[in-house]
Amino acid sequence: MDILWTENNRAQRGLDSVITYDTEELKPYGPVLVAQSDKGICFVGLPVEGSFETAIKAMLAYFPLAKFIETKSHSHRTGLDIQGTAMQIAVWKELLKIPEGETKTYKDIAEAINKPTAYRAVGNAVGANPVCIYIPCHRVVGSNGNLHGFAWGTLWKQKLLSDEADKRPCNTKSVTA
């Protein structure tokens, strides 16, 4: 999937943009909120307690300057249109390197982007990921293995990680003594 990375801060996101959105079935998870600009998918939100209210509020906050149009059309672009700060983009690019069914810690990500003491900034960037599932922020855990926060709730994080682990061939699962 092609990704268009645009570096900007929150106050600039959505400037001169029209974003269309609707819910769409994403197997095996059920309906998700999908938003698109004219350049690609720019936001994905998951239901919280069966409602998309949190996802819609998050989408509106993420793109404060955009015009939004709810649509029933599902003519998705083939790529992603990702807007964020330089730090966020560096973190999100690193998240794309985490193989399905595996996890990394915030510390691992901070070290990988050459900012070894920037755990908090990494955590903020992970939490600001606008396209969960496509950029696998759910694969980042605490140094102690705890799931820590996830924008859509830890139940979603557990489900995504569990589903990915179930897909992996048995001989590649990590075993610790």
> Where in the sequence is the domain holding 143, given as residue range(s)?
86-166
* DSSP secondary structure string for all residues of 36-95: E-SSSEEEEE--BTTBSHHHHHHHHHHSTT-EEEE-------SSEEEEE-HHHHHHHHHH
> Is the pLDDT score of 28 beyond 50?
yes
CATH at residue 91: 1.10.10.10
Task: With H, G, I as helix, E, B as strand and everything else as coil, classify residue 142.
Answer: coil
DSSP 8-state symbol, 118: -
> Is the pLDDT score of 35 beyond 90?
yes
What average pLDDT score do residues 139-168 get? 89
Mean pLDDT check: name the lowest of 3-12, 13-22, 149-158, 162-171.
162-171
How many other C-beta atoms can be found within 10 angstroms of the C-beta atom of residue 19? 20
> Is the pLDDT score of 25 beyond 60?
yes
pLDDT band at 77 (very low <50, low <70, confident <90, very high): low
pLDDT band at 76 (very low <50, low <70, confident <90, very high): low
- Residues 102 and 157 placed together within one structural domain of the fold: yes
Amino acid type, 92: W
Amino acid type, 81: D
* Residue with more model confidence, 170 or 79: 79
What average pLDDT score do residues 16-34 get? 91
- Residues 74 and 105 placed together within one structural domain of the fold: no
pLDDT single digits (tens) 119-153 = 999 999 999 999 999 999 999 999 888 888 888 99
Task: Let me know if residue 177 belongs to a domain.
Answer: no
Last residue of some domain: 65, 81, 97? 81
What average pLDDT score do residues 23-42 get? 91
At what angle are helices 86-95 and 119-127 packed, to 10 degrees? Answer: 80
Confirm whether 170 is a catalytic residue: no
Helix, strand counts (H, E) of the chain: 5, 8
User: Which ranges in 119-153 belong to alpha helices (H)?
Assistant: 119-127
- Residues 28 and 98 placed together within one structural domain of the fold: no
Task: Let me know if residue 175 belongs to a domain.
Answer: no
On average, the pLDDT of the chain sits at 90
